Amino acid sequence: MDTHTFHQSRKRFEPLEKKCSFCKTGSNKSKMEDNCFYSVYNVGDRLNLIVFRNVKFKEIKIGIPRCES
């Protein structure tokens, strides 16, 4: 992804863009914690037997740029 960078210790994608996605204003003073982080799920492991089914999901967070207001 060209618009996000992966933060290893927090295991999330952080946006590189500083403009708010809602109001389209650019603020260079915005902090990373002002952004909205939403969980995205992916199928990690799937087990299908005759009498038993199991699906394990992997969760990763992706950031959407937002301003303080």
Whole-number pLDDT of residue 32: 77
Q: Is residue 63 within 8 Å of residue 12, measured between CB atoms?
A: yes
Q: Give the pLDDT band of residue 54 (cuts 50, 70, 90).
A: very high
Averaged pLDDT of the chain:
84
Q: Is residue 25 within 8 Å of residue 55, measured between CB atoms?
A: no
Rounded percentage of the chain residues whose pLDDT exceeds 90 = 17
Task: Give SS3 for 65.
Answer: coil
Whole-number pLDDT of residue 27: 61
Token pair in block for residue 30: 């915005």
Q: What is the mean pLDDT of residues 3-28?
A: 81
Domain ranges of the chain: 4-64
